[in-house]
Amino acid sequence: MQGPNVKRLIAHRASLLAVPAGGGFADALKAIQSGKIVAHVREATTWVETALLLVREAAEPNPWKTADDEAIAGEILKGVEAKLRSQKAERRGLNHG
């Protein structure tokens, strides 16, 4: 059974597959109406399962070797959220770094 972090990570990945870069609500609606969203969710689930396995099997030192899926997915989501915040700040002209 997948926990909330794993589910959120799958949803995030599926949204990236369903909506092209620069796309918006209309693209998301089109993906849902076309029925392709099911295929995107399946592909995203496989991608997340593989990513979690790769993190766990990474070379030493590996602090995530014994971590559960929820902990790893939560850490990945923190990175995703930080990247999204940074991109949003750049669009607003706040990030001069």
Q: Which two tokens stand for residue 91?
A: 């669009």
The domains of the chain are located at: 4-92
Q: Are 52 and 72 in contact (CB under 8 A)?
A: yes
For residue 61, say if its preceding peptide bond is cis, omega within 30 degrees of 0.
yes
pLDDT of residue 88: 87
pLDDT in tens, 60-84: 999 999 999 999 999 999 999 999 8
Decide which of 88 and 77 is more confident: 77
- Please, which pLDDT band fits residue 14 given cuts at 50, 70 and 90? very high
In 3D space, the residue among 70, 38, 37 whose CA is nearest the CA of residue 52 turns out to be 70
**pLDDT at residue 97 above 60?**
no
**pLDDT at residue 45 above 90?**
yes
